Chain A
Amino acid sequence: GESVGLHLPTLSVQEGDNSIINCAYSNSASDYFIWYKQESGKGPQFIIDIRSNMDKRQGQRVTVLLNKTVKHLSLQIAATQPGDSAVYFCAERGSNYKLTFGKGTLLTVNP
């Protein structure tokens, strides 16, 4: 069946460092992946997405890497800032646009 999971439940980094958040997925048929950021008491906020025909996509300070061979997704945040502190979820799209979310990684940025 479908499952999306995260390697680490928590990640603590120093301000200015780069952060890497990892995610594993099991559905090889998934064709679209998204990273969401969720701050306390708020809904998931779209960060970046990637389609299965790509292996890398860059945004502003964020990069998503997709390795279909090992079914692995990662989110890289450059020069992490205190405002980046949040829970980060990866999600994969299945049939009818349904999203399956991972458990989330709590990113804490220390000043």
Chain B
Amino acid sequence: EPEVTQTPSHQVTQMGQEVILRCVPISNHLYFYWYRQILGQKVEFLVSFYNNEISEKSEIFDDQFSVERPDGSNFTLKIRSTKLEDSAMYFCASSDSGVRGDTQYFGPGTRLTVL
């Protein structure tokens, strides 16, 4: 069964450093998303991406965040200058298009720890 994959599974970084979280969505999916989950809290939407541009972003997704689809398979989330409060699980998701395109399938997540 196709699945969303994410690397790395755990990223530790110093405050102020740049991190890039990587995702390989399910092939032939056209809609891509990033969510985050602070420990013990609910999953929060960050950004949606379609046709090589951002469709929607949340208040969390400020100028420090960016997304990119550098090739036909990867989808990345970059945080330019990490803050302590960026520590969280980051989930990538993808969905198909059309009538069955509503279901978002999530990857296993990257645990980001900012020290």
Residues of A at the B interface (CB closer than 8 Å) are: 32, 34, 36, 42-46, 49, 89, 91, 93, 95-104
Contact = CB atoms under 8 A, between A and B. Distances in A.
Interface in B101-115: 102-109
20 contacts: A34-B104, A42-B109, A43-B109, A44-B43, A46-B105, A46-B106, A49-B103, A91-B43, A96-B50, A96-B55, A97-B31, A97-B48, A97-B95, A97-B104, A98-B45, A99-B35, A99-B104, A100-B45, A102-B42, A104-B42
B43 A97 contact: no
Interface of B: 4, 31, 33, 35, 41-45, 48, 50, 55-56, 58, 91, 95, 102-109
Contacts of A36: 106
A49 B106 contact: no
Contacts of B45: 98-101
Given A43-B109, A44-B91, 13 more contacts: A32-B102, A34-B104, A42-B109, A43-B106, A43-B107, A89-B42, A93-B102, A98-B33, A99-B33, A101-B35, A101-B42, A103-B41, A103-B42
Given A43-B108, A43-B109, A44-B91, A98 B102 contact: no
Nearest to A103: B42
Query: Mostly helix, strand, loop or mixed at chain A's interface?
Result: strand
Contacts, number: 60
A45 B105 CA distance: 7
A98 B108 contact: no
A45 B108 CA distance: 9
A49 B78 CA distance: 31
A43 B50 CA distance: 22
Nearest to A102: B42
Contact of A98 (B56, B103, B105, B107): B56
A32 B101 CA distance: 12
Contacts of A44: 43, 91, 106
B102 A96 contact: no
A102 B44 CA distance: 9
